Structure 1
């Protein structure tokens, strides 16, 4: 058994890393922080220009790559490019790429929104784990960070597609952590509430829902930089679940203690808020 996880291995320091969705928000923060810790970073994003901007922030320790995580061959190509550039397999993989969808109740949410959300938020992470986990096993060390959300367990109304995609990422991460236990390869799943990013700036979020999310982000949102640092520190400790904000921790506990009461109260609160 590899005992490195039990002795505070500094996996995220001087690590060769791949970050998806690295063109902005939490992904960019992960890439910049990993480089600050002495590593080299492949910054992948479906927006090639945004990925290049992140690389310009970092310098010659970073490489940009366009990647649509919903396409398995793109993710496989990403792993090959990273391995060629590093001269070895990646040490750390951050499956971060995701989109925000919400505002409609189940039945009114277009099936195209369901498909788009699951393609990126769920299949993107599945592809990342499917492609990189075997390479990490062969490498014998390193880790995977999957970015989920407090939505994975909070299940707020009018966010069904997003909730389902993130709940599945949580389950996937827990399964992978069990499969890799004792191997020296760590798995961490990040479940934040509001982070000050541009995730709601898209046409997949209904207008009133976007206004509410903008207010909540302004009042309770934290910086992506602090979330990235907290998550990478937790990953170094071998921590599986990362809930970086007090409200996420509170909801996590309440949901598990009184799931029925929590769900009914959340539904009433959501209607009053609208």
Structure 2
């Protein structure tokens, strides 16, 4: 028995999956990979044309997908998403991926606008909260093997200065996922939290990030970033194995280990490094 889950399964095969933020990036990669594994996919995004583009890509490859608009900051829209998904599946989903998110950074606490705090937390934290609140009872009461994946970040535990709102939002998703995994232990619903470092997506362009931070992030994505497809594949396999944490890149696992072993040293080093690079 795996101490991090309920044993090995193949939940990602022939899944009935609901994915938020499926119009681009990791969300689109999850959708395409799940369709490749024989699943039926509800591609949800606040940008409905982008969701349609992903669904059309899946259909062009012979897969089954539908696009639905959803603003994850509005719980009534998430309830509607659940209703429409169950109608399309003719039953409950077997996999829910709370992926919708935005990037933000470049200013220290006190300088970051409170409007940016609200914007980031409403999407990055309240989005997964709404998704888990609405879909967890549905999956639990269905009484069959299922999965929930929440997309966080290595920023959840590697709190780099200048990214407070983003760090806090992702730390909240990590804690949400750990709590949910404990509450669902033994039910057959596996919870996985995805904590990557840099993934080659458009999150920098779509976020509220300073020019300096954008340039640095672009460089790091180019040098060390994994493709969204690779990250999605690794995360689905992790959920299949019943494991809670998915840290695709070696640097994420290194940061996780250092932070847990020497938290004070890590925090001071992060602060000093930021001052030097700025």
TM-score by length of 2: 0.96
Aligned counterpart, 1:124: 127
Q: Does the 8 Å CA contact 2:23/2:50 hold for their aligned counterparts?
A: yes
User: Residues 22-79 of structure 1: CA distance to partner in whole angstroms, max 9, x if unpaired?
Assistant: 0000000000011111010000001111000000110150000011000001111000
Tell me the SS of whatever aligns to 1:200.
helix
DSSP-derived class of the 1:154 partner: coil
Helix, strand or coil at the partner of 2:93: coil
CA deviations over 1:129-164 (Å, ceiling 9, x no partner): 000000001111301000000000000000000000
Tell me the equivalent position of 2:106.
103
- Which structure 1 residue ranges, 4+ long, deviate > 4 Å from structure 2? none
The counterpart of 1:188, out of the listed 187, 192, 196, is: 192
Query: 2:19, 2:96 within 8 Å by CA — same for their partners in 1?
Result: yes
Unpaired runs of at least 5, structure 2:
none
1:167 is aligned to 2:171? yes
Give 1:136-175 correspondences, 5 Å limit.
136-140=139-143, 141-175=145-179
3-state SS of 1:104 partner:
coil
Gaps in structure 1 of 5+ consecutive residues? none
Partner of residue 264 from structure 2, selected from 250, 260, 263: 260
Match of 1:82 among 82, 85, 89: 85
Which residue number in structure 2 is paired with residue 19 of structure 1? 19
**Correspondence for 1:91:** 94
Over aligned residue pairs, what C-alpha RMSD do you find? 0.9
Tell me the distance in 2 between the aligned counterparts of 1:47 and 1:40.
20
TM superposition score normalised by structure 1: 0.97
Q: What SS does structure 1 have at the residue aligned with 2:96? A: strand
1:246 counterpart = 2:257 = no
Q: Which residue of 2 aligns with 1:272?
A: 276
Tell me the residue number matched to 2:35: 35
In 1, the alpha carbon distance for the partners of 2:158 and 2:218 equals 18
SS in 2 for 1:44: strand
| 2: CA distance, partners of 1:23 / 1:202 | 12
Q: How does 1:222-241 map to 2 (within 5 A)?
A: 222-241=226-245
Question: For 1:68-117, what per-residue CA distance to the aligned partner results, in whole angstroms no more than 9, with x for missing partners?
Answer: 00000111100000000000000000000000010000000000000000
Give the C-alpha shift of residue 202 in structure 1.
3.0
Aligned equivalents of 2:100, 2:88: Cα separation in 1: 21
